[in-house]
């Protein structure tokens, strides 16, 4: 299939005009890699189990770590299934199911807390899912109380909850604010009825806009809305309508998520007919329109399709060179003191990544035996750590000075990454990066294809590619 070369000119955040075409997207843009995590989850091993995790925490004297901790709490339940979903979710049939889960979560909080010195400081708390707002006020308060009894929530910390505006009958924004949450993340996707039908997510415009308004009135520090492009039945005009409505209500952050169709990996996506998906040109046009409108409206492109108002803490952190990127995306906090709680949750502590059991019954059984429900994990090698920091620098700041890497790691950048620098020359010719003797800079076009730029530094993909290219003896 031949893709026509489609090009658009639009304003980037520094008001320079630049061009990008669908040919470039076709060559560099198709990737299921997600560098919030490196190495990717396929490289976790079951040999890294609860015992290995506990031994590692004890050895590294985690209780005395210099940085305060982050806590991720996973609530896996949803009322209905969105067909684009890539998460590990369970359809909640009754409140009893949720109560049983929360009881086990409380056990896990206690088990994890025992590794840290008394009342360890917590600067970041994140309730994600699934649908955390399926919990009622009492359930949420109880779990927060359990956390407070075991950890010391810092006054100026960041406490985030993912809110499904369709599932707020048992909670209010004001109640969430009073519980201590100061950031909300709300999924919107697209207001169009046909798009919503095809993704099995009915969510009226009024419900969404009222929820955003309520959050603004309740005084949340950060309100992030998430739109999704590349969905079935989506057109430029339909998405433009959604975009205009959202821009008008002016949330602090707008995340443009790209729908990636991988039905062989994500079961819910098998309900989406690939013929209903917009073609490559439409997807690109939607993206470019969104970028253009958002920058005109005063939003700054942080990177990875996240936009924020000019005085947002992420914009300030980026300007000051202290922006971080990790499992929750961009943040002002580093991601490497993150404890994960709940079924399938992923933790990142020092040089270790771990994942809890993805099977609910096994998750329960382990906790009932007072065993941490770690299913798999990986201890990062020195090479993994170097590559992770290179990718994070590119994703956060679009520029990487070789010297900055050499300051932290005992390597000669140009020798260590000789093969990668050669590979990047193709990206340079395509206008995605610029290279010189001291640094790599990602261009505005390259920022839209950042995953692809990061792939160059992904050792595991490189090994796979080399293996595939080897002659097979039969």
Q: In this chain, which of 22, 65, 70, 89 binds ligand SF4, going by CB under 6 A?
A: 89
Nearer to ligand SF4, 89 or 328 (CB): 89
Contact between 184 and ligand SF4 by CB under 6 A: the answer reads no
Contact between 269 and ligand SF4 by CB under 6 A: the answer reads no
Contact between 85 and ligand SF4 by CB under 6 A: the answer reads yes
CB of 310 to ligand SF4, least distance (A): 30
Q: At 43, give phi and psi (nearest 5°).
A: -100, 5
**Of the candidates 406, 413, 419, the residue with the CA atom closest to the CA atom of residue 462:** 419
Contact between 278 and ligand SF4 by CB under 6 A: the answer reads no
Contact between 129 and ligand SF4 by CB under 6 A: the answer reads yes
Q: At 348, give phi and psi (nearest 5°).
A: -145, 110
Write out the two tokens for 5.
């070369």
Q: In this chain, which of 70, 131, 133, 242 binds ligand SF4, going by CB under 6 A?
A: 131
Contact between 87 and ligand SF4 by CB under 6 A: the answer reads yes
Q: In this chain, which of 120, 130, 329, 444 binds ligand SF4, going by CB under 6 A?
A: 130
CB of 327 to ligand SF4, least distance (A): 16
Nearer to ligand SF4, 128 or 444 (CB): 128
CA–CA distance, 422 with 416 (Å, rounded to integer): 12
Q: Which stretch binds ligand SF4 (CB under 6 A): 128-136, 316-324, 339-347, 394-402?
A: 128-136
Say if CB 271 and CB 200 are below 8 A apart: yes
Nearer to ligand SF4, 81 or 461 (CB): 81
CA–CA distance, 379 with 361 (Å, rounded to integer): 26
Nearer to ligand SF4, 78 or 390 (CB): 78
**How many of the chain's residues bind ligand SF4 (CB under 6 A)?**
10
Nearer to ligand SF4, 129 or 278 (CB): 129
Q: Chain-centre distance of CA 147, in angstroms?
A: 23
CA–CA distance, 18 with 445 (Å, rounded to integer): 7
Nearer to ligand SF4, 237 or 267 (CB): 267
CA–CA distance, 165 with 212 (Å, rounded to integer): 9
Q: How many of the other CB atoms lie within 10 Å of CB of 186?
A: 21
Say if CB 273 and CB 232 are below 8 A apart: yes
Nearer to ligand SF4, 131 or 404 (CB): 131
DSSP one-letter string for 94-159 = -HHHHHHHHHHHHHHHHHHHTTSSSS-EEEEEEEEES-GGGS-HHHHHHHHHHHHHHSEEEEEEEE
Write out the two tokens for 335.
């991601």
CB of 202 to ligand SF4, least distance (A): 12
Q: Which strands, in side-by-side order, build the sheet including 152-163?
A: 300-303, 306-308, 253-258, 222-229, 183-189, 152-163, 121-129, 69-75, 337-341, 346-349, 352-356, 374-379
Contact between 81 and ligand SF4 by CB under 6 A: the answer reads yes
Say if CB 80 and CB 91 are below 8 A apart: yes
Nearer to ligand SF4, 131 or 336 (CB): 131
Residues of span 343-372 touching ligand SF4 by CB under 6 A: none
Q: In this chain, which of 57, 69, 71, 78 binds ligand SF4, going by CB under 6 A?
A: 78
Contact between 189 and ligand SF4 by CB under 6 A: the answer reads no
CB of 130 to ligand SF4, least distance (A): 5
Q: In this chain, which of 62, 82, 153, 290 binds ligand SF4, going by CB under 6 A?
A: 82
Q: Which residues bind ligand SF4 (CB under 6 A)?
A: 78, 81-82, 85, 87, 89, 129-131, 164
């Amino acid at each position: 299939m031949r893709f026509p070369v489609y090009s658009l000119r639009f304003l980037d955040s520094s008001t320079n005009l630049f061009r990008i075409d669908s040919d470039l997207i076709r060559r560099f843009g198709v990737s299921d890699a997600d560098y919030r995590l490196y190495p990717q989850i396929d490289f976790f091993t079951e040999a890294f189990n609860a015992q290995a995790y506990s031994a590692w925490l004890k050895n590294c004297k985690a209780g005395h770590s210099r940085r305060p901790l982050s806590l991720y709490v996973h609530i896996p339940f949803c009322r209905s299934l969105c067909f684009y979903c890539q998460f590990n979710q369970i359809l909640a049939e009754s409140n009893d199911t949720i109560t049983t889960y929360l009881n086990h979560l409380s056990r896990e909080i206690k088990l994890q807390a025992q590794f840290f010195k008394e009342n360890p400081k917590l600067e970041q708390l994140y309730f994600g899912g699934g649908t955390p707002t399926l919990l009622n006020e009492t359930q949420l308060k109880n779990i927060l109380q359990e956390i407070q009894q075991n950890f010391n929530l810092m006054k100026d910390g960041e406490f985030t909850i993912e809110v499904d505006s369709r599932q707020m009958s048992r909670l209010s924004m004001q109640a969430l604010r009073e519980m201590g949450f100061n950031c909300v993340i709300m999924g919107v996707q697209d207001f169009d009825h046909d798009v919503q039908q095809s993704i099995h997510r009915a969510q009226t415009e009024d419900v969404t806009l009222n929820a955003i308004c309520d959050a603004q009135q309740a005084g949340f520090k950060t309100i992030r809305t998430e739109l999704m492009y590349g969905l079935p039945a989506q057109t430029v005009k339909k998405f433009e309508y959604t975009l205009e409505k959202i821009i008008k209500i002016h949330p602090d952050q707008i995340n443009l998520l790209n729908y990636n169709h991988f039905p062989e990996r994500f079961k819910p996506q098998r309900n989406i007919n690939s013929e209903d998906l917009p073609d490559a040109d439409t997807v690109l046009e939607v993206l470019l329109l969104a970028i253009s409108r958002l920058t005109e409206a005063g939003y700054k492109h942080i990177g990875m399709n996240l936009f924020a108002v000019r005085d947002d803490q992420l914009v300030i952190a980026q300007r000051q060179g202290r922006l971080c990127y990790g499992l929750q995306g961009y943040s002002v906090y580093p991601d490497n003191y993150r404890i994960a709680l709940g079924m399938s949750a992923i933790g990142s502590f020092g040089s270790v990544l771990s994942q809890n059991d993805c099977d609910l019954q096994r998750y329960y059984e382990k906790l009932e035996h007072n065993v941490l429900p770690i299913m798999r994990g990986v201890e990062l090698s020195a090479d993994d750590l170097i590559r992770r920091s290179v990718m994070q620098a590119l994703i956060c700041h679009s520029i990487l000075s070789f010297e900055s890497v050499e300051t932290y790691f005992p390597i000669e950048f140009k020798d260590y990454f000789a093969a990668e620098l050669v590979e990047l020359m193709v990206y340079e010719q395509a206008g995605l990066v610029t290279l010189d003797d001291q640094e790599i800079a990602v261009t505005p076009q390259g920022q839209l294809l950042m995953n692809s730029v990061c792939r160059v530094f992904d050792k595991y993909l490189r090994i796979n590619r080399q293996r595939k290219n080897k002659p097979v003896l039969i």
